[in-house]
Amino acid sequence: MSEPRLSALFQSRQPSVIRMAQIRFDERNDATEALNVAIGNISLPMYPAMTARMHALDAPDSPFRDGVVKYSATSGSRECNDAFLNVIASSGFDTTKLHGHITEGGSQAMELIVAGVCGPAGTDQDPLLLIDAAYTNYKTLCQRLGRATCSIRRDLGDDGKFSLPDSADIERVIEARKPNAIVVIPFDNPTGQYYDKATMIELAKLAVKHDLWLISDEAYRELYYTGGQCTSIWGVTNDDVPGIEGRRIGIETTSKVWNACGLRIGALITDNQEFHRRAIAEHTVSLCSSVIGQWIFGAVAHEDHADLRAWYARQREYYKGMLFDFTSSMKQALPGVIVSSPDAALYSVIDVRNCVADGFDALEFVMWCASEGFVLVDGRPVTVLTAPMAGFYSVPEGTPNPGRTQMRLAYVETPERMAMIPSLLAELITLYEASRAGPRD
């Protein structure tokens, strides 16, 4: 008897590169322990006011004290929206012209944006312009919705710096592919690159010149380690680039800076009232985002800016120490390895192109680590899970993918466990390369 058919999308779908190592490791039946730095699943406590609300869902002032959990408006609660605006304002940006609505994490905000700026579905019209290496969910969501993407690539140099393409190169892609929006991640995932205000202004000029939306994924705002002032799409105004206001869209989330990945609360912020209204209309099919999550994050609406800035400083100090220590230790453990410059966010990209034999494939190495590779640490088997980088690039068929020798690591283990990873990775790579070489006569 034949079985019902899967859609073409489901037949071709593979797990996200940031999840596949964990899926493979979960199939493993031995006693190996995994240090999982493949995904930015932060394990630190939430902001104190959020934690207090989580622990007091039955308090007299809680809307859940009687066990009733109703829908909110699709746009989200006023308090939760105010919390995101308070956060943006605490970084020194004007929020008086901004419209926001609450989404199911930053991922749903991305999906609504793709639906709102790209299309029509099934065509190459109005693609989304990405700067490779680009966060994989943008491409995946475009595939799900049948929308097109185009990209321009930056390269990782031997000095650990990603080269941001200059305006002329970006403009050539715009003129050839005619995108309707540019995506930028100022505190970049996956590269850890930091986009200063001058860079944001250059991208804004291109958006105005070519009548594009400028989309800024601000999940990691305030996590930068270069000194100076915090940057944001909301810091680029008509005073800097006449005409930029009204085409700015921002993505917010509680996942990263607020250590609440599983809360699944985000926001879509824009200074374009029509886009705001239409995005809510599209979102009504999902009814609303988690009302308990909205209540927990809503506590931030009442926090003083000085307290929020002190929180940002503590977060920066925590990640900066690990980033700098890892970068130094990784270079010592594996001579010739390239480690991306620790400038922003909570990721490093390592490139082993100078340390391995021809034919090395990071995806195969990551799957080997997840399924069978290990190193003995005090007598117990340990492996490391990372994210292979090839999936973060869009390259034409037949063109070498720079991600083939690259892996992304997230700083989500404790500092003590993160300190173990350089030597573990170096030994795992050595063991894997020996297995590729095979037995010798």
- pLDDT tens series, the chain, 441 aa: 788 988 888 888 887 877 888 999 899 999 999 999 999 999 899 999 999 999 999 999 999 999 999 999 999 999 999 999 999 999 999 999 999 999 999 999 999 999 999 988 888 999 999 999 999 999 999 989 999 999 999 999 999 999 888 899 999 999 999 999 999 999 999 999 999 999 999 999 999 999 999 999 999 999 999 988 899 999 999 999 999 999 999 999 999 999 999 999 999 999 999 999 999 999 999 999 999 999 999 999 999 999 999 999 999 999 999 999 999 999 999 999 999 999 999 999 999 999 999 999 999 999 999 999 999 999 999 999 999 999 999 988 888 999 999 999 999 999 999 999 999 999 999 999 999 886 544
Residue 249 near residue 272, CB atoms below 8 Å: yes
SS (H, E, C) 276-326: HHHHHHHHHHHCCCCHHHHHHHHHHHHCCHHHHHHHHHHHHHHHHHHHHHH
Neighbour tally for 99: CB within 10 Å = 20
Neighbour tally for 223: CB within 10 Å = 23
Query: Quick one: 350 exposed, middle or buried, by C-beta within 10 A (0-12, 13-18, 19+)?
Result: buried
Domain ranges of the chain: 8-45+308-436, 48-304
Alpha carbon 304 to chain centroid distance? 27
* Dist. CA 182–CA 211, nearest whole Å: 11
Assign a CATH topology to domain 48-304: Aspartate Aminotransferase; domain 2 (3.40.640)
Assign a CATH topology to domain 8-45+308-436: Aspartate Aminotransferase, domain 1 (3.90.1150)
pTM (global) more than 0.85: yes
Question: What six digits make up the tokens of 78?
Answer: 């006023």
Locus of tokens 């799957």: 367
Cα first-last separation, the chain: 52
* Dist. CA 140–CA 68, nearest whole Å: 36
